A = this chain, B = another copy of it.
Amino acid sequence: MQAKRNTAQLLLHCPDKPGILAEVTNFITINKGNIIYLDQYVDRLDNIFFMRIEWELEHFVIPRNKIQDYFYTLYAQKYEMSFKLYFGDELPRIAIFVSKMSHCLYDMLARYTAGEWSVEIPLIISNHPDLKHVADRFDIPYYVFPITKENKAEQEEKEMALLAENGITTIVLARYMQIISDRMIESYPNRIINIHHSFLPAFIGAKPYHQAFQRGVKIIGATSHYVTKELDAGPIIEQEVVRITHKDNPEDLVMKGKDLEKIVLSRAVQKDIERKILVYKNKTVIFN
């Protein structure tokens, strides 16, 4: 569906000052870049300017390997910008982590196989062998690293080596029922996407559907977020909810929740791989 595109994608934020947008768009235009996407937003409370801009490189005067350097020198310094530069033809490389539930995994692989997502998924990692059959159906290598208290550090070491070997840019925890260690989180800052099966910040931690049942809520939810060191407290990317009644028992909540989880996780992954998310102050700015 979405072919690789010969484009540059720039996400930036900086203190808002007059003229930034004009200067940046001008820089691209006069160097013969054809702008195909522009979305900007000003946080008027903190006075921060956010922008995502994408342009075609075909006739762009500056060589792609020098854009980062030029932009830093000409604008980022001047405006105290943080920015990230991506290229439309350098696809994100995702490792999916799973445990025993398959619904999120299937949903992602269906999109991937159907060509909806411009990504590569070189491997799946699990602490259990249960979902190997799913990986096999889609011809994706499946690695099992059983985790115990004793071997956790050691196993994560091996996982990280495997991730590095495969040039993984993004980790998706598709109902992976293990807490990621700080060390791995530091290696993938805002690059690990989790799905939590509650409407955060309600029902943090284990068994949120049972917590929801106990509390007698009338709506349940799911939340995808970037993983940070504090449990279930990272920047929220996407949330969705569904109505329940007193007739729903915990098992019903689990079933209804599954549909939320897979949709919410896939929406989050999609925004991430489109490079449309910018994290600021433990919150996400999501471009259209």
A contact set with B: CB distance below 8 Å:
18-19, 21-22, 25-26, 29, 35-36, 38, 40-45, 101-103, 106-107, 110-111, 113-114, 116, 134, 137-138, 199-203, 215-219, 221, 235-241, 243, 245-247, 249, 255, 259, 263, 266-267, 282-286, 288
* A103: contacting residue among B110, B203, B219, CB under 8 A: B110
Q: Tell me whether B259 and A263 are in contact (CB under 8 A).
A: yes
Chain B residue with the shortest CB-CB distance to A50: B246
Neighbouring B residues of A107 by C-beta, 8 Å? 106-107, 110
Residues on B with C-beta less than 8 A from A217 are 200-201, 236, 239
Q: Which residues of B contact A102 (CB under 8 A)?
A: 110, 113-114
29 contacts between A and B (CB under 8 A): A18-B29, A18-B35, A21-B22, A22-B22, A22-B25, A22-B26, A36-B44, A40-B40, A41-B246, A45-B249, A102-B113, A102-B114, A106-B113, A106-B114, A107-B110, A200-B202, A201-B217, A202-B202, A216-B235, A219-B221, A219-B239, A241-B241, A243-B243, A245-B286, A246-B285, A246-B286, A259-B266, A259-B267, A263-B263
Q: How far is the CB of A279 from chain B (nearest CB, A)?
A: 10
What's the minimum C-beta distance from A283 to chain B, rounded to whole angstroms? 3
Complex contact A29–B19 (CB within 8 A)? yes
Given contacts A106-B114, A246-B283, 8 further A-B contacts (CB under 8 A): A18-B25, A18-B35, A19-B29, A43-B246, A106-B110, A106-B113, A199-B219, A200-B202
- Give every chain B residue within 8 A of A282 (Cβ-Cβ): 216
Which residues on the B side are within 8 Å of A199 (C-beta)? Answer: 199, 202, 219
